[in-house]
Chain A
Amino acid sequence: MTLLEVRGLGKRFGGLDAVKSVDLDVDEGRITAVIGPNGAGKSTLFNLIHGFYHPTAGTVTFRGDDITHSSPHRTVAGGIARTFQTTNLFEDSTVLENVLAGRIVRSKSTIFDAVFHTPRHRRESRVNEDKAMEALEYCGIAEHRHDLASNVPQEVQKRTAVAMALATEPELLLLDEPAGGIPEEETADFGDLIRSLPGQGVSVLLVEHKMTMIMGLADTILVLDHGQKLALGTPAEIQSNPDVIRAYLGSSTDEEN
Chain B
Amino acid sequence: MNALKNPRLLGTFAVVVLIGAAPAVFAGENYAMRVITVGMCAAIAVYGLNIILGFTGQLSLAQGGFFGIGAYGVGLLTTDYDWSFWSAFFVSVIGTAVIGYLCGLIALRTKDEYFAIFTMAIGFIIFLVISRWEAVTHAHSGVNNVKFPEGAGIVDFSSPIAMFYLVFLVLLICIYITHAIRRSSVGRTLLTIRTSEDLADAIGVRVGFSKQLAFAASAVFGGIGGGLYATVVGFIGPDAASIDKTFEFLMFILVGGMGTVAGPLLGSMIVTFLFELFQDFQAYRFIVLGPIIVALVIFAPRGIIGYLGEFIDRRNRRRRLAGMRRSPKETGPDGRSAAPTAETMTESGAGTTSEETK
Residues of A within 8 A of B (CB): 50, 52, 72-73, 75-77, 81-82, 84, 88-93, 97, 100-105, 107, 109-111, 113-115, 117, 121, 124-125, 128, 133, 137-144, 146, 153, 164-165, 168, 186, 189, 192-193, 195-196
Decide yes or no: A189 and B205 within 8 Å by CB, A101-B188, A107-B185 being known contacts. Answer: no
Q: What are the residues of chain A within 8 A of B345 when measuring CB–CB? A: 153
The winner among A73, A75, A125 for most chain B CB atoms within 10 A is A73
Report B205-245 residues with CB < 8 Å from chain A CB.
205-207, 213, 217
Write out the residue numbers on chain A whose beta carbons fall within 8 Å of the beta carbon of B357: 192, 195-196
Q: Closest A-chain residue to B339, C-beta based?
A: A143
Known: A104-B205, A115-B177, A186-B349. A128 touches B356 (CB 8 A): no
Question: Are A192 and B199 in touch, CB under 8 angstroms?
Answer: no
Whether the Cβ atoms of A196 and B192 lie closer than 8 Å is no
- Of the residues B181, B351, B353, contact of A114 by C-beta under 8 Å: B181
B4 at the interface (CB under 8 A from A): no
Distance in angstroms between the alpha carbons of A128 and B185 in the assembled complex: 9
Tell me if B184 and A52 are in contact (CB < 8 A).
no
How many whole Å from B203's CB to the nearest CB in chain A? 5
Beyond known contacts A73-B201, A110-B186, A143-B338: 12 more, CB 8 A cutoff: A52-B201, A72-B201, A75-B204, A76-B202, A90-B191, A90-B195, A91-B195, A114-B180, A137-B334, A141-B352, A142-B333, A196-B356
B interface with A by C-beta (< 8 Å): 176-177, 180-181, 183-189, 191-192, 195-196, 198-207, 213, 217, 317, 320, 332-334, 336, 338-340, 345, 348-349, 351-353, 355-357
B355, A140: Cβ atoms closer than 8 Å: yes
A-B contact pairs, 21 of them (CB 8 A): A76-B202, A76-B204, A88-B198, A88-B202, A89-B199, A90-B192, A97-B188, A101-B191, A101-B200, A104-B188, A107-B185, A109-B186, A111-B213, A125-B184, A140-B351, A141-B352, A142-B333, A142-B334, A144-B339, A189-B352, A192-B357
If A89-B199, A101-B203, A164-B203 touch, whether A140 touches B189 (CB-CB below 8 Å) is no
Bound Cα distance from A141 to B235, whole angstroms: 60
Measured between beta carbons, the chain B residues less than 8 angstroms from A189 are 349, 352-353, 356
A140 to chain B, nearest CB (A): 3
User: Which of B176, B204, B338 meets A104, CB within 8 Å?
Assistant: B204
Given A114-B186, A121-B184: A84 and B204 interface contact (C-beta under 8 Å): no
Chain A residue at minimum C-beta to C-beta distance from B207: A73
- Highest count of chain B CB atoms <10 Å: which of A84, A102, A104, A125: A104
A75's nearest neighbour on chain B, judged by CB, is: B204
Give me the 10 closest cross-chain CB pairs, A-B, nearest first.
A140-B352, A76-B204, A143-B339, A105-B204, A114-B184, A107-B185, A90-B195, A114-B180, A115-B180, A193-B356
